Amino acid sequence: MLRALLIFLRFLASSLQRFFPKNWEFVKNFAHPRVVAMLFFGFSAGLPILLIFSSLSLWLREAGVQRSAVTFFSWAALGYSFKFIWAPLVDQMPIPVMSRRLGRRRAWILLAQICIAASIFAMSMIDPAKAGNCLYLMALAAVGLGFSSATQDIAIDAYRIESAGESLQALMASVYIAGYRIGMLAAGAGALFLAQIKGSTLGAYDYTAWRTAYQIMAGLMAIGMITVFVIKEPEVTVKETNHARTTDHARFFVLFLVSAAAFVGWFYFSSGIVSTLKEQVIFVVKNSSAAGFIIETARLAGGICAGLLAARVMVALKVADMEMIRSAYVEPVADFFSRYGLSLAWLLLSLIGLYRISDIVLGVISNVFYQDMGFSKIHIASIVKTFGLFMTIAGGFLGGTLSIQFGVMRILFAGALLSALTNLLFVLMAWTGPVLPMLYLVISADNLAGGLAGAAFVAFLSSLTNVRFTAIQYAVFSSLMTLVPKVFSGYSGAMVDELGYPVFFTVTAVMGIPVLILILICGVKLQINETKSQINL
């Protein structure tokens, strides 16, 4: 009987391989070492982000930190929004000793993972409830975590692209995303469960509970580190590196350090000016939240200008190589504007920068909202984090399927519309209070819409890139898509204090209206642009 079953299974397998060779190869590729590796790399990439956002927000809230200060910590992840600045550095510069032993890609991944684990551990050793500089030290560690995590993303993307052919790229990307979501689940629901079990609640804060939770999260980064040593370096042709090339890398690194120092220095020395100007701006605009937003936005712009000015001085002094800067930054941007034209390119960049604004501005304050409504960390972990994660994945599959059937722009519009409308469900929950069925309804609708919009948006961004400049252009797009929303999200807590939850959620829904208009305009102009390109061909 058993022998007959084995013969039948072999016959079925050979039949499937004969009649569906492509599908059969697709199934077999799931066991490919490079594909399996992306699952673990995805886990190590998804772990840090919620330790900066939602889990840290709850920790600070339990420690008695004001809501406005809690949401300012979302700016610690601005490294994700500026990662395109040092992406060429990660792409080209070898790490002494480590690159010789591991190869350039694995060395950068391992270095980033070590820095991530160190940053998480440093956060665990700081009690934000204590007086003094503890809150500033926590912010510094969170900034280090965001910077290291963004660097890991750059290195892993480069490894994924170089380690396998085009036939495996889609599969590797999907497995990476699955691992990323599992990492987010561990850092979100896992950290909350650990803190709750150890006895920390909103009314009875326990620092040791959060310390233990974050130290366990730091230990989980060993999964990615072990993967680095198990996998092989991509088999790509390495260009010959002479002394001049090594010197160029060193000069480029110095340029980056000086520009970063100028950016940070501006923020440090402008703090006194900000405190002086704030009262005058409040007097003009008659609103403290609006005044704070205007001042901090101008402060951010000033920091960017300071960094650019420092880079310009370094080039003028011939410390940096202008040719390397041109190939790293100027050519990819010039290519994008030449392909789409000036007006359409700016419209596309505006759409990229605003598409996720409704989700991100609301998302920063969402965990604090759930806790203020009376939901426990167990409810937040099991429903918001765990159940919500599966709904997001389901929305992603739905968005990908519908994009293939109906086109990316239509699903992009549907995703933006649903994301804005589901924000209004939070208004309803603010009125009903801590009712579990309402929480399930809100999380189901919001995460399904977010997953659908996210899948369509990734497909949209991928279609805009040129294969000659995929890495830097996609880094620019992915950085831009979170920059403006994160600047606004830093004021989510202050907006809630001024407006209250119902009005705040309504405002976040209204923020989606310009996005819908931009999608309609860009859709029409992209069709015209594509028609012209076909005629020219």
DSSP letter for each residue of 320-364? S-HHHHIIIIIHHHHHHHHHH-HHHHHHHHHHHHHTTHHHHHHHH
Please say whether the structural domain 333-537 has been given the CATH code 1.20.1250.20. Answer: yes
Taking the C-alpha atoms of residue 109 and residue 131, their distance in angstroms, rounded to an integer, is 36
Please say whether the beta carbons of 375 and 387 come within 8 A.
no
Please state the rounded mean pLDDT for residues 217-231.
93
In this prediction, residue 240 has a pLDDT band, given cuts at 50, 70 and 90, of very low
Q: Which of 235-244, 307-316, 374-383 has the lowest mean pLDDT?
A: 235-244
**Domain definitions of the chain by residue range:** 32-234, 244-320, 333-537
In this prediction, residue 380 carries a pLDDT of 78
* In the block, residue with structure tokens 């009314």: 203
Angle (deg, nearest 10), helices 436-464 and 408-432: 160
**Does residue 15 register a pLDDT over 70?**
no
Amino acid at site 59: W
**Does residue 139 register a pLDDT over 60?**
yes
Please state the rounded mean pLDDT for residues 369-377.
81
Candidate CATH numbers 1.20.1250.20, 2.30.30.700, 1.10.760.10, 3.55.40.20; the one for domain 32-234: 1.20.1250.20
Residue 101 burial class via C-beta count within 10 angstroms: exposed 0-12, middle 13-18, buried 19 and up: exposed
3-class SS of residue 203: coil
Of these ranges, 7-11, 19-23, 115-119, 488-492, the one predicted with the greatest mean pLDDT is: 115-119
Please say whether the beta carbons of 61 and 67 come within 8 A.
yes
Residues 6 or more apart whose CB falls under 8 angstroms from that of 272 comprise none
**Does residue 163 register a pLDDT over 80?**
no
**Does residue 63 register a pLDDT over 50?**
yes
Is the torsion defined by CA of 473, 474, 479, 481 positive or negative? positive
Of these ranges, 399-413, 425-439, 450-464, the one predicted with the greatest mean pLDDT is: 425-439
Residue 327 burial class via C-beta count within 10 angstroms: exposed 0-12, middle 13-18, buried 19 and up: middle
Token pair, residue 227, equals 């993967």
Taking the C-alpha atoms of residue 149 and residue 56, their distance in angstroms, rounded to an integer, is 16
**142: Cα separation from own chain's centroid:** 14
Angle at 303 between CA 300 and CA 306, to 5 degrees: 155
Please say whether the beta carbons of 72 and 494 come within 8 A.
no
Three-state SS string over 300-332 comes to: HHHHHHHHHHHHHHHHHCCCCCHHHHHHHHHHH
Please say whether the beta carbons of 57 and 70 come within 8 A.
yes
Residues 6 or more apart whose CB falls under 8 angstroms from that of 75 comprise 486, 487, 490
In this prediction, residue 71 carries a pLDDT of 55
272-308 tens-digit pLDDT: 666 666 666 666 666 666 666 677 677 777 878 888 8
Residue 411 or 76, more confident: 411
The model scores a pTM over 0.85: no
In this prediction, residue 1 has a pLDDT band, given cuts at 50, 70 and 90, of very low
In this prediction, residue 498 has a pLDDT band, given cuts at 50, 70 and 90, of confident
Taking the C-alpha atoms of residue 523 and residue 347, their distance in angstroms, rounded to an integer, is 10
Of these ranges, 50-64, 152-166, 205-219, 393-407, the one predicted with the greatest mean pLDDT is: 205-219
Give CA torsion, residues 382, 388, 393, 397, to 10 deg.
140
Up-side HSE of residue 292: CA atoms within 13 Å toward CB?
A: 16
In percent, how much of the chain has pLDDT > 90? 14
Q: Tell me the Ramachandran region of residue 466: left when phi exceeds 0, alpha when psi lies from -120 to 50, beta otherwise.
A: beta
Q: What share of the chain is helix, strand, coil (3-state, %, to 5)?
A: 85, 0, 15
Integer distance in angstroms from the first to the last C-alpha of the chain? Answer: 64
In this prediction, residue 95 carries a pLDDT of 84
Taking the C-alpha atoms of residue 356 and residue 454, their distance in angstroms, rounded to an integer, is 9
| Domains 32-234 and 333-537 in one fold | yes
In percent, how much of the chain has pLDDT > 70? 77
Please state the rounded mean pLDDT for residues 299-318.
80
Of these ranges, 51-55, 154-158, 249-253, 522-526, the one predicted with the greatest mean pLDDT is: 522-526
In this prediction, residue 291 carries a pLDDT of 67
Which pairs count as long-range contacts for 329-335, CB under 8 Å and 24+ apart, including other chains? Answer: 329/88, 329/472, 331/469, 332/466, 332/469, 332/472, 332/473, 332/476, 333/476, 335/466, 335/468, 335/469, 335/473
